[in-house]
A and B are shown apart, each in its own frame.
Chain A
Amino acid sequence: MKIDNGCVRCRQCIPYCPVAAIIYDDGKYLVYVDQDECVECSVCRNSKVCPVDAIYQPELLWPRTLKAKWSSVVYVHPETNIQGRGTDEMKTNDVTGRFKPGEIGFALELGRPSTGARLGEAEKVTVILAELGVQFEPMNPLTGFIDTETGRFLESWDGHPLDNEFRNTKVMTYIIEFKAAEERMLEVIEAIRRVSQEIDTVMSVDLIVKCDENGGIPVAPILDQEGVSYYINGKTNVGLGRPLYDFGS
């Protein structure tokens, strides 16, 4: 986003920016958008808070296009034909069978909450995960940028180099989605905990677990026993989807 010369310096837009990229320069009597920090989420413009409509969307060129890709909610990812930053994950598991008994789904959302993340941070995490042999989610938009064997970024993507400019691109959030066998859950969690100390942002971490036939959560006792804390609230697929995936016995 940018602010044009019609700006009346009322500064009402400043608090609307989730990543504090709208700056008021007192000395120059100027309100501007820090292009490095801006994640192109469009919140400032969509809020319609500007009394003179001075906030506008300039044409985005690579790698700035990626900011909109991982910040705007309405961008359609060609890899998934889905708007947003992830996949259906567990929300349709009753129909798709994406996560089966004995499998644990993981989602690591870097930059969430309320922080933002540079794309280069992803590689710190994916390299560790690749060493563990996890199965990266092929439908996730980020997966298309990495070599799933090594966890490293590809040399290029769609003709664009995945260089330092790419790595330094800040977006709202992105999600690393993968799954692993249940018996490796604690090992993976421990690896995520270690690498979380190396990233220059935050990540929201979650697990996806297929319940048993009585609605019980098979891994809950393991998490409790090993002292892995988790929120009292979360998402529950109540199993009303049809046709139901056949999980067998």
Chain B
Amino acid sequence: MKIEMTHTLHRVGDRESLKKDYVVYGLSAQDSELTGRAHEKRDTKEVHTRFMEICMKHDPVNAGCIYPSSDPYSLTLAKGNVFDEMKPRMLPFTETLTVYDDKEKVLAVLEDLKAADLGMSIVVSGIFDEVDECCREAGLARHTVNIALGIWGREDLIPERKVLDVVTMCGHGLVSRHLVKDFVDKVRKGLLTADEAGTKLGAQCVCGAFNTKRAADLIREMASGGGGPVK
């Protein structure tokens, strides 16, 4: 069992902000009718553990492991968990991902993952040309891409841009726009720091894909009046 959807796509932002937002995701195919059941023979528990060990070496902003049918079902850095807690709970189909604020870290991760040859699929969410550059420098060629065409339909229903930048970092929709606005207000009043707000928002995200550092930057900007009024 896996948590699957396009949950690290559709992250909204301008280039400067998105330059500090990359998600590296490791997963093993479970579509046995497509893979000829090849992966049932693989020790995916060990593979996911090794993946996280490599990723954690490169100073992620956030990271998460999801443990299907377990309680708790996920541990993330934003929730205050550490990798030593995540590691012993690893399951064959644990979902594993890490978030980075710097392209150079992504490059280092890809180089290590290529050398480790874990056999799991690796997906990087981030600015296409920069990820492509990382791939080339690591000696890889992009295999498949997922391109976001945007938000269509009742655009009047979506929040204003900077709030949208924050909430779209939780692709599962668990970070509330109203909480973002509440925290911006609290930061303005000195009741909360922007960094605390970023972490508290990240704690709502189940999988660990939420970039707490970028969220703090965006909240700081909104609290200081940047990006227009927060309604």
Contacts and interface: CB of A to CB of B under 8 A. Distances in A.
Q: Do A and B bind each other?
A: yes
B27 to A, nearest CB: 6
B7 interface: yes
B88 to A, nearest CB: 20
B113 interface: yes
A57 interface: no
Interface stretch (B29-37, B188-196, B219-227): B29-37
A114 B3 contact: no
B167 A15 contact: no
A84 B7 CA distance: 9
Given A214-B141, A233-B18, A243-B38, A200 B154 contact: yes
Interface-centre pick from A93, A113, A115, A216 (highest chain B CB count, 10 A): A113
A175 interface: yes
A150 interface: no
Contact of B142 (A20, A115, A239): A239
Is the interface on chain A under 10, 10 to 19, 20 to 34, or 35 or more residues?
A: 35 or more
Interface stretch (A1-9, A27-35, A152-160, A224-232): A224-232
Contact of A139 (B31, B127, B148): B31
A68 interface: no
A91 B25 contact: yes
Interface string A200-214: 111111111111011
A132 interface: no
B17 to A, nearest CB: 10
Given A86-B4, A215-B136, A233-B128, A93 B143 contact: yes
B181 interface: yes
B128 A236 contact: yes
B174 A197 contact: no
B96 to A, nearest CB: 12
Contacts of B168: 113-114
B142 A215 contact: yes
A208 B5 contact: no
A193 interface: yes
A192 B150 CA distance: 12
Contacts of B28: 92
A231 B148 contact: yes
Interface of A: 14-18, 20, 41, 43, 46-47, 71, 73-74, 76, 80-99, 105, 107, 109-116, 139, 172-173, 175, 189, 192-193, 196-197, 199-211, 213-217, 223, 228-243
Interface of B: 1-13, 15, 18, 21, 25, 27-31, 34-35, 38-39, 66, 68-69, 73, 110, 113-114, 117-129, 131-132, 135-136, 138, 140-155, 157-159, 164, 167-168, 171-179, 181-182, 203-204, 206-207
10 contacts: A41-B173, A73-B206, A90-B146, A204-B148, A211-B142, A217-B147, A230-B148, A234-B128, A240-B122, A241-B120
- A-B CB proximity, top 5 nearest: A239-B143, A242-B119, A92-B29, A241-B121, A196-B152
Given A96-B35, A237-B145, 6 more contacts: A16-B178, A92-B121, A96-B31, A230-B149, A233-B18, A240-B114
